[in-house]
Amino acid sequence: MKIKHILFGAILIWWAFQPGPGLGGESLKITQWEPMGGPPAPAYIHLSTEFPCDLKKPRETIRVNGRPAAFTRLGGGFGGGVCLQDYAVYVGTPGIKEITVTLSAGDRTLTASTSLEFRSQGAIVLLDRVDGQAVWAPEEWRFWVYFVKDVKIFFQHNPSSAARNGVKDVKITVNDQEQPAQLAPAPVSEHHFVLTCRPDLRPGSNTITLAGTNLEGREIKAQYHTYYARDRQVKVNDEILLPYGYWGSKSGPFFRLEVEGEAVAPVGGVDRDQSGLKDGAWFFMERKILKRLRALRPGTVTLRFLEKKWFTEPFQLRRTDQLTVVP
């Protein structure tokens, strides 16, 4: 079973008015909130509520400054006749927010409200892959960008401009050749969008730098690296980082990467978080397992990717790949 978790915005500047005891209606309470949806900066908030469990299957609405807000359910629970429900809620750009939660069932309606100040510096986040991993093909790259404008993108120090105040198609220059790129808004927010591009990477190491300005006028910069093993080839003395699995439970699954041949040697491994978006809006992270391989001498090796789905089962071969070392 995959372990997916959402990290709260830990590296941020934020402040909120904490709700007093019994804030809201007689039976519905907003008990806690905090910034959420990072790293490295929050994209929305985490809201906790409690209400009487005799309110069966209520219809939920959440408004921010009087307007309907996008939200999704998180965890919940119950005890002593009280039900607990947490939400992730899009609240728009940073600033003072009036949050109103309404639950309705039959002719019964419960409402609770509170005020908070949402603060976020904005961020540019790589999606769907791990910083530093090797790739066999350039493919499509995606970045989650929020509370950032005038995005600039650099591939191997060749700059391109993606100036933006609204969402629109942009052009990116990669190695002096114009490349297509697109900015698409998240389905639940006009302030969060996904930048996609298909860079013309050069064989070997590549550096991708994205820079923009947040809503306070401060520079936001993110830098990512990849090794392009075109035709599954690497040069002598180069090192690559290959993903071969993810963190499972204590019972499985488990993963292993074996190298058959002497041209390449394993030289350690690392675990890194890979970011993703559920339904194009809700941030999650998955812990990936990667092996570091060093090219020692010309030749070809076979990479064997194995998986044990359950701790009592043997490892099974999932697939093989060829990797060639060239002078």
Q: Are strands 316-326 and 233-235 parallel, antiparallel or unpaired?
A: parallel
- Residue 20 confidence class, pLDDT cut points 50, 70, 90: very low
Residue written as token pair 């690296």: 225
pLDDT at 179 over 80: no
Q: Do domains 122-228 and 232-327 have the same CATH topology?
A: yes
* 3 state SS for 14-46: CCCCCCCCCCCCCCCEEEEEEEECCCCCCCEEE
Whether this prediction's pTM lies above 0.95 is answered by no
- Residue 311 confidence class, pLDDT cut points 50, 70, 90: confident
**What are residue 232's phi and psi, to 5 degrees?**
55, 45
Cis peptide, bond prior to residue 266, ω within 30 of zero: no
Higher pLDDT, 186 or 72: 72
Cβ distance 91 to 97 under 8 Å?
Answer: yes
- Residue 181 confidence class, pLDDT cut points 50, 70, 90: low
139 by Cβ neighbours in 10 Å (0-12 / 13-18 / 19+) ranks as exposed
Q: State the chain's mean pLDDT as an integer.
A: 84
Lowest mean pLDDT of 15-19, 192-196, 238-242, 303-307, name the range: 15-19
Considering all CA atoms of the chain, what is the largest pairwise distance in Å, rounded to the nearest integer? 77
| Annotation: CATH topology of 232-327 | Immunoglobulin-like (2.60.40)
- Residues 121-148, mean pLDDT to the nearest whole number: 92
Q: What is the pLDDT of residue 156?
A: 58
Local structure of 267: helix, strand or coil:
strand
Q: What is the pLDDT of residue 190?
A: 85
What CATH class has 4-118? Answer: mainly beta
Q: What is the pLDDT of residue 5?
A: 37
Q: Where are the domains of the chain?
A: 4-118, 122-228, 232-327
Q: What is the pLDDT of residue 180?
A: 56
Terminal-to-terminal C-alpha distance of the chain: 42
DSSP string, 228-266: E-GGGEEETT-EEEEEEEE--BTTB-EEEEEEESSSEEE
Higher pLDDT, 320 or 189: 320
Closest residue by Cα to residue 263 from 238, 290, 242, 228: 238
Here the tokens at position 311 are 């701790």
Q: What is the pLDDT of residues 215-273, one digit of tens each?
A: 888 888 888 899 999 999 999 999 999 999 999 888 989 999 999 999 999 999 999 99
Q: What is the pLDDT of residues 61-90, one digit of tens each?
A: 999 999 999 999 999 999 888 999 999 999
Contacts of 166 (CB under 8 A, 6+ apart): none
Q: What is the pLDDT of residue 60?
A: 97
Residue written as token pair 């002593």: 80
Q: What is the pLDDT of residue 198?
A: 81
Lowest mean pLDDT of 21-25, 40-44, 261-265, 297-301, name the range: 21-25
Cα–Cα dist 134/240, whole Å: 6
- Residue 165 confidence class, pLDDT cut points 50, 70, 90: very low
Lowest mean pLDDT of 3-7, 41-45, 286-290, name the range: 3-7
pLDDT at 11 over 60: no
CATH of 122-228, one of 2.60.40.10, 2.40.50.140, 3.90.480.20, 3.30.565.10: 2.60.40.10
pLDDT at 158 over 90: no
Whole-number percent of the chain with pLDDT over 70 = 83
pLDDT at 17 over 80: no
Q: What is the pLDDT of residue 152?
A: 66
- Residue 211 confidence class, pLDDT cut points 50, 70, 90: confident
**What are residue 144's phi and psi, to 5 degrees?**
-95, 125
- Residues 127-146, mean pLDDT to the nearest whole number: 92
Local structure of 200: helix, strand or coil:
coil
Q: What is the pLDDT of residues 272-306, one digit of tens each?
A: 999 999 998 999 999 999 999 999 999 999 999 99
Cα–Cα dist 145/124, whole Å: 5
